[in-house]
Structure 1
């Protein structure tokens, strides 16, 4: 279920997770429980929903409500529980948030899950890539893509 609120400004307390919090602050905002993350396109939001992540709210370009974001709304409509707040705004309002148009017109705040222990990961994985003491994270994305291409069951960062 979802509830759409149209807005012409971003100074709504419920939007602070999009407007005020850095990635680190999102990670820690619900301690001791797991924090939040922002999924940044309908495709990424779809993948997160497929993986079982729970949406907290959606911020969308009102033009996208009947385009790419419509399938996300369809999925939210089929979900049980509390309605997910959906905030719709014009592109020029959202541009104030990013300084440029949202490429895919859709952001979704989602609950992080508690990370499994290394032991829990190792129980179900036969091939694990381990990145130990990473100092410069520049190429970590390439390592994750390579691990996926090589069929690794998990990647562990220390």
Structure 2
């Protein structure tokens, strides 16, 4: 085990972990260096077991035994051993799960690899990392096969996305669409019935869609937090569906709406 005691939060060897709260900074650094950060023993384990190679570990002493088997498999990755309070000084947030790891990003999965599946969630420009993580967790937990993301959607490997997904980002197949303009036609050409989740005058109720019978291959498409789905993607879909609501509420948060649709259409 390559143990490296560190006592200074400004130690340059900890640069991968600096200012994790700053989303714009992290996007730049993580893209430039091809890395991502995993938080918590369980998530770190899932990431490494999914094939992501660790660059380093940032651990308080008490977390080392639980990860010792993985650490021993990667002797070139330094284990920065720190006090319980140092990670907060380095990262800018309370590391309540007590363990961090910096990992190399694997080669991205191509969209084509997901087109042979039967049930896909497709997210257009979901910019909130919490929502992306929740959508991945919903899709995995409710038995869907994979998630496709538009180019401008938030990064599933951003720390917050990973955390909210409970590590399902490492077990559920996901990919970026090849091209926003042709994504829906590509899904239809691959045999998917594409259902857009949107509030339009011609939308059918979710219950009605289920009652009509579900196709063998189905993709549900959800849109960004503020404006919803783009007009282009709505018009390219085979059908538009809405969730029946009550008490004057017109819609749900996109992650909650995705969970409802995934359950109904599973």
Q: Which consecutive segments of 4 or more residues in structure 1 shift more than 6 A?
A: none
Q: Among 85, 90, 94, which residue is 2:87 paired with?
A: 94
Q: Deviations over 1:65-108 (max 9, x none)?
A: xxx431212222134xx521010111233331245542121100
Q: Does 2:159 match 1:156?
A: no
Unaligned runs of 5+ in 1: none
Relative to structure 2, which stretch is displaced further, 127-136 or 146-155?
127-136
Tell me the distance in 1 between the aligned counterparts of 2:42 and 2:49.
10
Query: 1:15 matched to which residue of 2?
Result: 14
Unaligned runs of 5+ in 2: 151-266
Q: Deviations over 1:99-146 (max 9, x none)?
A: 5542121100001112122112224x2221111233566633332222
Q: Does 2:29 match 1:26?
A: yes
Q: TM-score, normalised by structure 1?
A: 0.79
Relative contact order: is structure 1 or structure 2 higher (C-alpha 8 Å, sep ≥ 6)? 1
Query: 2:217 matched to which residue of 1?
Result: none
Tell me the distance in 2 between the aligned counterparts of 1:129 and 1:150.
11
Aligned residues: 146
Alignment of 1:61-76 (within 5 A): 61-62=60-61, 64=62, 68-76=63-71
Alignment of 1:1-158 (within 5 A): 2-19=1-18, 22-30=25-33, 35-62=34-61, 64=62, 68-79=63-74, 83-99=76-92, 101-123=94-116, 125-134=117-126, 139-158=131-150
- Quickly say closer, same or farther: Cα 1:107–1:145, change in 2 above 3 A: same
Tell me the distance in 2 between the aligned counterparts of 1:101 and 1:137.
18
Relative to structure 2, which stretch is displaced further, 10-19 or 131-140?
131-140
Q: TM-score, normalised by structure 2?
A: 0.49
